[in-house]
Structure 1
Amino acid sequence: MRNNNPTTGKADKALKDSLKKLNDVESIINRGPVIYCIWRIAENTPVEFMSGNISQWGYTPDDFLSGRITLRKVIHPDDVDRIHANVIAHRRQGAKIFDQSYRILDHQGEIHQVEDQTVFIYDGNGIITHAQASISDVTERCKTEQALQETQNSYQAIFENTGTAMGIADQDRNIILGNKKMEELTGYTKEELTGEKKRWDYFIIPSDIERLKNQNIKRLADPATASKHYECSINTKSGNIKNIYLTATIIPGTQKTLVSMVDITDRIKAEEQLQKSEERLQELLAKSSDMVVVLDDQGLFKYVSPAFKPILGYNQTDLIGKSSFDFIHPDDMEIVGIAIGEVFLNQQKGIPTEFRFRRADGSWACLEALGSNCLDNPAIGGVIINAREVSERKQLEAQLIHSQKMEAIGRLSGGIAHDFNNILMGIQGYISLLLYRIDSMHPDFEKMINIQTLVQSGADLTGKLLGFARGGRYELKATDINALIAKTVNLFGRTKKEIALHHKYEKNPWTVEIDRVQMEHVILNLLVNAWQAMPQGGDIYVETQNIAVSQSLSAGDIKAGDYVKITIADTGMGMDEETKQKIFEPFFTTKEKLRGMGLGLASAFGIIKEHGGAITVASEPRKGTTFTIYLPTSGKEVPKETFTDKTILTGNEAILLIDDEASIVEVCRDILVSLGYQIFTAKSGQEAVKIYARNKDKIDLVILDMIMPGLNGGETYNQLKAINPQAKVILSTGYSGSEQAQRILDKGCHGLIQKPFRMEDLSQKIREVLDQGQPLPV
């Protein structure tokens, strides 16, 4: 290599001589691991010689000789200032040679740890002009040293922090090292253990010393012939004796012994306690209401707890050795197979699985079971199954789901009925107006009567929906149930001569408070269903009975209390269990198309439930069906029946009509005007309150829709009463939402009229309220 930098004087001659010598050994240097560099003491430390083996870091000598790369650029930025200060310090001290270490960045940016021996070069005047650096890459060595240190630290940490008492003894059994756990076990500090050169014999009780000493001699002579594990007893510093499980091994390449000690005193006590626990467990299994079984890997019974006998009727000997799958219902075999397969194959707990298991008497019990894989446990060697009978719980769950489903569908049906009744109201209103304005000789009179009849049929259909949707209870009346049922049965019997009707009525039935129209609908539906179940004719039995249900007998929807029990039984074809579960669902029917929509029994269910009662069904194929109704009793007296003439009545008072449906406002306004009344109209509760506040002295009666957005009927009623406590109000609705309607009536509302109503019904209701000074009883 040549240096193009000019030099002068004796320093230059000395440098040239040095460079010549370096060139002679350059080939040797370039093949060695040590990198040689000569740099001038000047700004930027210009390099004047760089050995070729700089290539190991991806550089060439020319990179430095040309000045493209300086030494400062290849030294790690965090080390530059330290190295610079180090050089200055050694120059000031007049040092000729010094060592330093730092980091180098190679051409790829990788970091290398280096050691550098720097020699200052002086000129003839004793002035330092250059420095020669011998640089060795010690990265791998540092890594090795670091790894060795980490390993040593790890072993030290393991030794000190292990959960086992450990110590090291020399060949004379003197303790030379002990860890913290050994201090805890013996009660002696490390200084006491090692400083006084205590032998193992110091701790061992006399009866065990000779045995352990002989084993130590064997271990030193031939480790393979000596036992590694012992049980012995030691004396602690406090004088307590502890039972120890000791392990002793020779440290390879030495005559030293590594000893670990485990205190088994508590373990022995625990084993004694475990034995007692096992005895208690056996006692619990014998008396537990849960069933526990152990299956082998083929699914055969290995163990059966005593609870099987009272729950399923099996003795333990009836099942041991038999396949568990022989007792599982065929329809549940797949789900059980999947569940137990998860336990067998995945070595884990399964998920709770419900299935049917055959009882000893042949009936089926519903079980919930959970398995745990203990095949690898020598004490068990099988799968533990914990099972309990949930037949009653499943029945209650089914009842709850059915009730919730009926309630949800009921809300939907009620909404439909409300909207449909509003539509029918518009049709009925205009038909009433037309019939009012023409006589019976008009050519379209009969057609209008037919339309009115069809509207009534539609209203009957929505009445079924309302009865199902917690709705059919419009005006409750104390009722003699015998009279109502007898009337309905006689009406039915006149049209069904092929059916033999039998009745047995309670002599003095308790009073029930019911909506009579809705209850007639329920009884008639049940009679029709019974008739349809007997296409070849048969017998229907109707019975009423006073019954007191005690707390101990109450179940499901039948709470404790006094009831009138109504039974309607037939001798028809009966039904299977699946049909029984769905019989009260809306739109479920076993009838042919066009014979019904499946709303009858669903409607009956809703009506009875809304009356606070319950309805049940009992049936088997070819053994007939029995429906039983429970109606809560009332302390009220049955009122005497009064009959009113259904003629159209007129008047001239002022009426405020409130309804959110524009079509109903329009047709009802026309009806009321035709009847001679002065009309104020409002399409919302808010608007109605404002109108009434301005005209309360003029308005004699309010006809109030119950279901409205914003301010609903109940809230509007409250505000009207706040303005005028004497205000007379008739509640008008297409959906009673019985509880809401009843609350309004209970507050003193003067009456209720159900949409769709006829002109004569509205005229009668208006006069009934206006012509009385006090609110009518609800």
Structure 2
Amino acid sequence: LEHRVAMRTRELVQANETLRTEITCRREAEDALIESERRYKTIMESAQDAIFCKNSNRQYTYVNPAMLKLLNCNIEDVIGKTPEQVFDAKSADVIRIVDDQTLAGKRVNEIKTIEINGKEYVFHTIQAPMEQRDGKAYSISGIVRDITENVRAQEEKVKLENQLFQIQKMEAIDTLAGGTAHEFNNLLAVILGNTEFLMDGVSPEDREILKDILEATQRGKRLVQQLLAFSRKSESRLNPVQLNIEIQKVISMLSRLIQRAITLSAEFPDDLWGVRADMGKIEQVLVNLCLNAQDAMPDGGMLTIAAGNIIVDDAVRNSYPDIEKGRYVRLIITDTGHGMDRETRERVFDPFFTTKGIGKGTGLGLAVVYGIIKAHHGYIFCKSEPGRGTAFEILLPAIEYAEIAHPERKKSVEPAKGKETLLTVDDEDGVIRILERMLNKLGYHAIPADSGEKALEIYQEKQEEIDLVILDLGMPGMGGHQCLKKLIEMNPQVKIIVASGYSAKGLIKDTIRQGAAGYIVKPFTMEEISNTIREVLDGKCR
């Protein structure tokens, strides 16, 4: 009996130790669970991202403070409710699709746009199913991060990068257009000069052929002016003008150009503000835009030119984010044509880009328009959608008053002759030859030089007998600018006419300041070169 009692006692002691160990382990497990829940709650409650849980009926069973802050509501407004009871119908539909995917056992990782309290947010959402042992999802857990500001910042970055790329592209094309125009003017100078030279003493049949050549040369000259206008190397004379008066003149001309199937109308107030503008260039803008509109309406339609005053302030700048505040005169040219898609609209001002067939357009028209408006310190926008027509909107800075400029009509002057000796400097053989023919016909003695270096050699040797130098600017090697400087160093009283394929703006004006006595722009006629020579030699300009 004693033995049995001893054994039983040992068993009870062992069982008691086991029970004590189990109780200790359970207490440790409970403490660990409490600590784990505390950590879990601390993480969930302090998280900046919105965290939530839903049951299989898609009712919210938990939301953290960040979620409540995002929704701008109290916990009782969310717990126990479905997304349909918390969000608007459109956003609830988006959430329902994600929930259905999650309850089907799929882990969702998506970026969605959802509206909350009337404001659109962009969210990065991650949802995962909570599954039972049988693999069936019984609840949803999710985390939502508001990336709205990041997305907006990225969009703004892309926008700025595109603007920078566009600016760089336009600057590169500016340089290309200006250089091409200069070279093309050299060719036109040869064609125009030789054709004009041959006009005397030919048969009527040959004269008609030469007239065709002259006409083609003039078309080429206008094309060069378009290139120069685009590259902003052609001179614009900005004078105060009243646009409503000038627009009426343009509309009168357009009414004869636009096909009858198109209804042309104009809308502008009598109190339209004045602007500083080169009306020849503004006329070119309106004609180009209206002819483009005509091409977009082969079966007829409505073409409207509207003008009005607008003040761009903080409120209005939402519609014009990239322009300076101030007073503007707004021109809107609207058509009811076939419109443009986004890709075409984004390239509409690119030079040589055209949707017209071969031989029907150069692709320079709208690029020229863009260049002219920029030269007027203005802005131009294109709004268009396929099938809904196109509207070009132009904003020109307004002035307090406008005085209508009446340009003086230039009087024709007969070519003046002379007997002086002229040094002609140009690297183009064709230009040198035609200039020599012109000068010889006018009675002058021409000495040709095909480079700046050669010109200096000749002038050093024959300085006493040379009365005038005609100097091209765009030459390789020494170049016209350096040659001009050296000639003036050799003789401060030297009379020099600079010639260039560019206009009187920029490079040529710089040479005038450096000491040149006059300038002439290629291509030039015999009358133009003769008058310029006489003005310089007779001391009428210096």
TM-score for the superposition, normalised by structure 1: 0.50
**Which residue of structure 2 aligns with residue 112 of structure 1?**
none
Q: Is the 8 A contact 1:612 1:631 kept in 2?
A: yes
> 226, 230, 234: which one pairs with 1:468?
230
Q: Distance in 2 between matches of 1:506 and 1:691?
A: 63
Equivalent pairs counted in the alignment come to 480
> Are positions 1:524 and 2:287 aligned together?
yes
CA distance change for structure 1 residues 695 and 512 in 2, over 3 Å: closer, same or farther? farther
CA distance change for structure 1 residues 518 and 751 in 2, over 3 Å: closer, same or farther? farther
Structure 2 SS opposite 1:670: helix
> 487, 491, 494: which one pairs with 2:253?
491
**Which residue of structure 2 aligns with residue 675 of structure 1?**
442
Q: Distance in 2 between matches of 1:670 and 1:558?
A: 52
How big is the shift at 1:445?
A: 1.9
> Are positions 1:650 and 2:411 aligned together?
no
Q: Is the 8 A contact 1:513 1:634 kept in 2?
A: no
Alignment of 1:88-99 (within 5 A): none
Structure 2 SS opposite 1:673: helix
**Which deviations, in whole Å up to 9, do the C-alpha atoms of 1:434-464 show, x marking residues without a partner?**
22xx236455222112111111122222333
> Given residue 381 of structure 2, which amino acid in structure 1 is its aligned partner?
T
CA distance change for structure 1 residues 704 and 616 in 2, over 3 Å: closer, same or farther? farther
**Which residue of structure 1 aligns with residue 239 of structure 2?**
478
Identity %: 33
Q: Distance in 1 between matches of 2:358 and 2:141?
A: 60
Q: Distance in 1 between matches of 2:275 and 2:492?
A: 34
> Are positions 1:540 and 2:303 aligned together?
yes
Structure 1 SS opposite 2:97: coil
Q: Is the 8 A contact 1:655 1:677 kept in 2?
A: yes
Q: Is the 8 A contact 2:305 2:334 kept in 1?
A: yes
Structure 2 SS opposite 1:567: strand
Q: Distance in 2 between matches of 1:303 and 1:633?
A: 54
> Are positions 1:278 and 2:41 aligned together?
no
How big is the shift at 1:478?
A: 2.4
Structure 2 SS opposite 1:569: strand
Q: Is the 8 A contact 1:732 1:752 kept in 2?
A: yes
Structure 2 SS opposite 1:321: helix
Q: Distance in 2 between matches of 1:559 and 1:698?
A: 57
CA distance change for structure 1 residues 553 and 745 in 2, over 3 Å: closer, same or farther? farther
Q: Distance in 1 between matches of 2:100 and 2:489?
A: 73
**Which residue of structure 1 aligns with residue 212 of structure 2?**
450
Q: Is the 8 A contact 1:506 1:546 kept in 2?
A: no
CA distance change for structure 1 residues 408 and 439 in 2, over 3 Å: closer, same or farther? same
Greater mean alpha carbon deviation, residues 516-525 or residues 718-727? 718-727
Q: Is the 8 A contact 1:544 1:565 kept in 2?
A: yes
> Given residue 277 of structure 1, which amino acid in structure 2 is its aligned partner?
S
Q: Is the 8 A contact 2:334 2:390 kept in 1?
A: yes
Q: Distance in 1 between matches of 2:480 and 2:314?
A: 39
Q: Distance in 2 between matches of 1:558 and 1:632?
A: 11
Q: Distance in 1 between matches of 2:28 and 2:396?
A: 82
Higher relative contact order (CA 8 A, sep 6+): 2
Q: Distance in 2 between matches of 1:420 and 1:730?
A: 21
> Given residue 444 of structure 1, which amino acid in structure 2 is its aligned partner?
D
CA distance change for structure 1 residues 441 and 688 in 2, over 3 Å: closer, same or farther? same
CA distance change for structure 1 residues 375 and 731 in 2, over 3 Å: closer, same or farther? farther
CA distance change for structure 1 residues 225 and 368 in 2, over 3 Å: closer, same or farther? closer
How big is the shift at 1:384?
A: 5.5
**Which residue of structure 2 aligns with residue 320 of structure 1?**
95
CA distance change for structure 1 residues 599 and 494 in 2, over 3 Å: closer, same or farther? same
Structure 1 SS opposite 2:274: coil
Q: Is the 8 A contact 2:341 2:385 kept in 1?
A: yes
Q: Is the 8 A contact 2:504 2:521 kept in 1?
A: no
Structure 2 SS opposite 1:320: helix
Q: Is the 8 A contact 2:422 2:446 kept in 1?
A: yes
CA distance change for structure 1 residues 405 and 278 in 2, over 3 Å: closer, same or farther? same
How big is the shift at 1:687?
A: 4.8
Q: Is the 8 A contact 1:375 1:383 kept in 2?
A: no
> Given residue 705 of structure 1, which amino acid in structure 2 is its aligned partner?
D
For the pair shown, the structure with the greater C-alpha radius of gyration is 1
> Are positions 1:585 and 2:346 aligned together?
no
Q: Is the 8 A contact 1:506 1:545 kept in 2?
A: no
> Are positions 1:512 and 2:276 aligned together?
yes
How big is the shift at 1:616?
A: 1.5
> 421, 445, 448: which one pairs with 2:185?
421
Q: Distance in 2 between matches of 1:746 and 1:543?
A: 43
Q: Is the 8 A contact 1:580 1:619 kept in 2?
A: yes
Structure 1 SS opposite 2:380: strand
> 576, 579, 594: which one pairs with 2:359?
594
Q: Is the 8 A contact 1:218 1:225 kept in 2?
A: no
Q: Distance in 2 between matches of 1:730 and 1:557?
A: 43
Q: Is the 8 A contact 1:426 1:667 kept in 2?
A: yes
**Which residue of structure 2 aligns with residue 235 of structure 1?**
none
**Which residue of structure 1 aligns with residue 330 of structure 2?**
565
Q: Distance in 1 between matches of 2:122 and 2:481?
A: 49
**Which residue of structure 2 aligns with residue 70 of structure 1?**
none
Greater mean alpha carbon deviation, residues 723-732 or residues 567-576? 723-732
Q: Distance in 1 between matches of 2:173 and 2:470?
A: 30
Q: Distance in 2 between matches of 1:479 and 1:486?
A: 17
> 427, 440, 443: which one pairs with 1:660?
427
CA distance change for structure 1 residues 372 and 359 in 2, over 3 Å: closer, same or farther? closer
Q: Is the 8 A contact 2:272 2:308 kept in 1?
A: no
> Given residue 674 of structure 1, which amino acid in structure 2 is its aligned partner?
K
> Given residue 283 of structure 2, which amino acid in structure 1 is its aligned partner?
E
CA distance change for structure 1 residues 411 and 314 in 2, over 3 Å: closer, same or farther? farther
> Given residue 533 of structure 1, which amino acid in structure 2 is its aligned partner?
A
Q: Is the 8 A contact 1:478 1:639 kept in 2?
A: no
Structure 1 SS opposite 2:96: coil
**Which residue of structure 2 aligns with residue 734 of structure 1?**
501
CA distance change for structure 1 residues 568 and 280 in 2, over 3 Å: closer, same or farther? closer
Structure 2 SS opposite 1:540: strand
| Structure 1 unmatched runs, 5+ | 1-213, 233-243, 246-264, 290-301, 327-340, 345-349
> Are positions 1:431 and 2:223 aligned together?
no
How big is the shift at 1:286?
A: 6.5
> 265, 272, 277: which one pairs with 1:502?
265
**Which residue of structure 1 aligns with residue 4 of structure 2?**
none
**Which deviations, in whole Å up to 9, do the C-alpha atoms of 1:332-372 show, x marking residues without a partner?**
xxxxxxxxx9x98xxxxx9xx9x996989xxxx9x988788
CA distance change for structure 1 residues 688 and 634 in 2, over 3 Å: closer, same or farther? farther
How big is the shift at 1:645?
A: 0.3
Q: What is the RMSD of the two structures over their aligned residues, measured on CA atoms?
A: 5.1
Q: Is the 8 A contact 2:45 2:65 kept in 1?
A: no
Q: Distance in 1 between matches of 2:94 and 2:40?
A: 32
CA distance change for structure 1 residues 757 and 324 in 2, over 3 Å: closer, same or farther? farther
**Which residue of structure 1 aligns with residue 377 of structure 2?**
612
Q: Is the 8 A contact 1:480 1:511 kept in 2?
A: yes
How big is the shift at 1:668?
A: 1.8
> Given residue 470 of structure 1, which amino acid in structure 2 is its aligned partner?
R
TM-score for the superposition, normalised by structure 2: 0.68
> Given residue 433 of structure 1, which amino acid in structure 2 is its aligned partner?
F
Q: Distance in 1 between matches of 2:454 and 2:355?
A: 50
